[in-house]
Structure 1
């Protein structure tokens, strides 16, 4: 039995009306889920304001309401708790309700624009191979040791995070790796969690539809490191100009990694091909199935983190050589006719440039590089022409198409993407709003040894149009189309 007063520990209280020595059944911030003897936390979201549903929660059996603004009319027998920030309060309450589960394992957060999923997922793979029970909270999936759960957000809400962490405690999980998004930090979803370490990958143009400026986006990421305890490590990529910013105010032990700069963990690419890379990390050579400069950074971060978490150098190198690519991250298929199809999540200008430059550094230039790419609707519009510019400049042919148009007109999105194409590249470009038809067209255009890159959706197995998600798997479609065409 857990009491309201216990789950309010560390919450900054402004006023309390009623009794806090009440046994609580559950906590919710979605009024539709509230039941008898539950606590309802009224959170102000981007779409709705939980304060509008306080009466509904009471009608459904809530015994306590946590809110930023007291309702004009209160109900006798119901406890009302006023707080300054309901999102922050929810995070502390969730941590307390589930028994502070992050303190019972080594939790490592990975933040940055690109590479979060790869680094977190590969660390999960590596520590599993090393014989540990491991947890994963990622964009692609949630893992509680060997049990798989679907992922809904890059960083889930604080109740969901703590619920999974409690499951991990029950399963005997020793390490957990989680993606920490800027939205998650800004909305206090990770507040109250005890982290054993934090990893910064890079910072590029993204989420400026949510954050007011790049500086705000950077500072939100930095806030994660500011909150790390002295017992944790803070590992940052110092080849990124924002890497040192992350370490400025952290109490955690500071470590750096880089390919170009002086750093605690340094790597050089000795060989790079479609079959993998040979890296030299701090005087040790290791072969990895992963490809490209951006993955060299990811592998280096994984190596550094595994050592900081207690693995020996030989263990880290051995398991790195066995790691497989993450679904939708430079995932490739080679057809009978020697056409290479690559599916990648690259949905930011920087990520797209990294993938295209990697392909161009490996290919012989005697073959075509056909890129299929679009931009998501209801998201940062300013990156669209940049994506168009990069795709058309670094490919031999480009097909602009739909990504997840959501509530926007796909053709209007494509027009904005086309706005970044320079005159000398006009002849390379065609636009097909149907993503299915765009992929099939790329397959028809491809000849033996050509390369098709399908960018933007990666691991996603759906396409969202006007609020409806329909089954759509880039990798499945391109591989099946090439088989059908016998190419």
Structure 2
């Protein structure tokens, strides 16, 4: 319990064999930490935790348990959980190079590019983020971008155990606000961009930005390097939070690492990198201007690590893409179908602007907005879809406990703001995708936005299997048979 301020209420000193914040995942001789959550409170489950083997409880207020159970009281159990987990696993992030990536969009792709470069450099690299946590062939799915502190520390310990050199992890604003990454020794931190998202949680862009900045404030404790998007309006806030070691990237000449002569097609992207006295070309299958920024972030990281340009070039040229990020569904049709995770106003704008540049024919967009999330972005996304698409199909996208038609009612005013907007509403997402595919003509581009790699729909409290890529492929195969 080193580093935690607490009051000892009762019970003997205990040797702890594990740490849990979920009573269902508690075992013999575990420390159970009571976390006040958004829907439930861990203090309500102390008896179940003890029944499952917990011998020590860390709580924010008194709980009634047998005297044989050790009870400690602390002011903030979330902070204490991060410290206890790091202590229990031996602070594994200090044994490897840990890279944190934060920002509204681009975290997943940037982390995968960095991993590809590091592995091309011969460094064993773990990765944790929206898709999964993976080291070698060992894959875990925690169900969120950045899991709770014990899960992170356990995985970091696995990376160290398997002789990993680096850990690359996406760091969400929720994780920073809820102390999940407090005890991680980041050697580098990357900022991708800052645009509207999660305002249902943070309430304001200023609060959202302040959470993101926390990652770079941690670098002051570790002496790590900040890698920052120079072109983003929030750059000064992140720069001010960083220690002296900062490297910036962007398309403008005041960036340390700059991209020039950008050319992007449906086949991939080419640009030239300028850094100090270096200049070298990059050719990658990744598509779109947003991919250039993601690649630049990874290149800036690689250059400050001392990785030579030829190796960086090979890694980017051989990139196979990231699941659900501008992923094409090709069944031999004479039009293009793309599935993308874009689910924020800026993400949707980026993907549709790219689509607009890639086709001289029609751009058909299938999209929706998630339920129980920031309502203010819904009309903005409707307006963006109408502005860049020739035809929009508004549909369901993880409505959760909200009525899908009520979510769409919030989107439609944005569509109506654009003169001449052409759209329809199809509540069933499968039918919406089928409609887009059946109406496509040769040379058209269909973008199915919002879910990307996800293999489910969240409807009420149910998780229903649904994969945009599989549904699109089924529709395309059915079209060929007609």
Q: Structure 1 length as normaliser, TM-score?
A: 0.94
Q: Kindly state the Cα deviation for residue 74 of structure 1 after the two structures are TM-superposed.
A: 5.3
Corresponding position of 1:169: 160
Q: Kindly state the Cα deviation for residue 313 of structure 1 after the two structures are TM-superposed.
A: 2.1
The answer (yes or no) to whether the contact 2:399–2:459 under 8 Å persists in 1 is yes
Deviations 1:33-58 (A, max 9, x none): 33332111111111111122233333
Corresponding position of 1:341: 337
Question: Secondary structure of the residue that 2:376 maps to in structure 1?
Answer: helix
The answer (yes or no) to whether the contact 1:347–1:455 under 8 Å persists in 2 is yes
The answer (yes or no) to whether the contact 1:269–1:277 under 8 Å persists in 2 is no
Deviations 1:90-143 (A, max 9, x none): 011111111211111111000000000111122122222332211000101211
Corresponding position of 1:476: 470
Answer with 345-354 or 230-239: which moved more: 230-239
The answer (yes or no) to whether the contact 1:399–1:429 under 8 Å persists in 2 is yes
Corresponding position of 1:241: 233
Deviations 1:377-402 (A, max 9, x none): 11111100111110011100110000
Q: Within 5 A, what are the aligned runs for 1:21-32?
A: 21-32=13-24
Corresponding position of 2:8: 16
The answer (yes or no) to whether the contact 2:117–2:311 under 8 Å persists in 1 is no
Using the alignment, how far apart are the partners of 2:261 and 2:453 within structure 1?
Answer: 27
Q: Within 5 A, what are the aligned runs for 1:280-359?
A: 280-282=272-274, 283-359=279-355
Using the alignment, how far apart are the partners of 2:457 and 2:60 within structure 1?
Answer: 37
Using the alignment, how far apart are the partners of 1:33 and 1:86 within structure 2?
Answer: 18
Which of residues 264, 283, 304 in structure 2 aligns to 1:272?
A: 264
Count residues in correspondence: 476
Corresponding position of 2:71: 80
Using the alignment, how far apart are the partners of 1:417 and 1:198 within structure 2?
Answer: 35
Using the alignment, how far apart are the partners of 1:471 and 1:204 within structure 2?
Answer: 30
Q: Structure 2 length as normaliser, TM-score?
A: 0.95
Which of residues 36, 39, 49 in structure 1 aligns to 2:41?
A: 49
Deviations 1:298-353 (A, max 9, x none): 00001111122231222212212211210000111344332100111000000100
Corresponding position of 1:5: none
Corresponding position of 1:124: 115
Question: Secondary structure of the residue that 1:360 maps to in structure 2?
Answer: helix
Using the alignment, how far apart are the partners of 1:108 and 1:270 within structure 2?
Answer: 27
Q: Kindly state the Cα deviation for residue 468 of structure 1 after the two structures are TM-superposed.
A: 1.2
For the pair 1:374 / 2:368, whether they are aligned, the reply is yes
Q: Kindly state the Cα deviation for residue 466 of structure 1 after the two structures are TM-superposed.
A: 1.2
Give structure 1 stretches of 5+ with no counterpart: 1-7
Question: CA-atom RMSD, angstroms?
Answer: 1.7
Question: Secondary structure of the residue that 2:393 maps to in structure 1?
Answer: strand
Using the alignment, how far apart are the partners of 2:26 and 2:347 within structure 1?
Answer: 41
Question: Secondary structure of the residue that 2:54 maps to in structure 1?
Answer: coil
Q: Kindly state the Cα deviation for residue 425 of structure 1 after the two structures are TM-superposed.
A: 4.5
Using the alignment, how far apart are the partners of 1:149 and 1:238 within structure 2?
Answer: 34
Answer with 308-317 or 374-383: which moved more: 308-317
Using the alignment, how far apart are the partners of 1:424 and 1:225 within structure 2?
Answer: 39
Q: Kindly state the Cα deviation for residue 77 of structure 1 after the two structures are TM-superposed.
A: 2.8
Question: Secondary structure of the residue that 1:420 maps to in structure 2?
Answer: helix
Using the alignment, how far apart are the partners of 2:455 and 2:244 within structure 1?
Answer: 38
The answer (yes or no) to whether the contact 2:56–2:69 under 8 Å persists in 1 is yes
The answer (yes or no) to whether the contact 2:367–2:394 under 8 Å persists in 1 is yes
Corresponding position of 1:109: 100
Question: Secondary structure of the residue that 2:202 maps to in structure 1?
Answer: coil
Question: Secondary structure of the residue that 2:337 maps to in structure 1?
Answer: strand
Using the alignment, how far apart are the partners of 1:378 and 1:272 within structure 2?
Answer: 36
Q: Kindly state the Cα deviation for residue 423 of structure 1 after the two structures are TM-superposed.
A: 5.4
Q: Kindly state the Cα deviation for residue 169 of structure 1 after the two structures are TM-superposed.
A: 1.3
For the pair 1:204 / 2:195, whether they are aligned, the reply is yes
Corresponding position of 2:377: 383
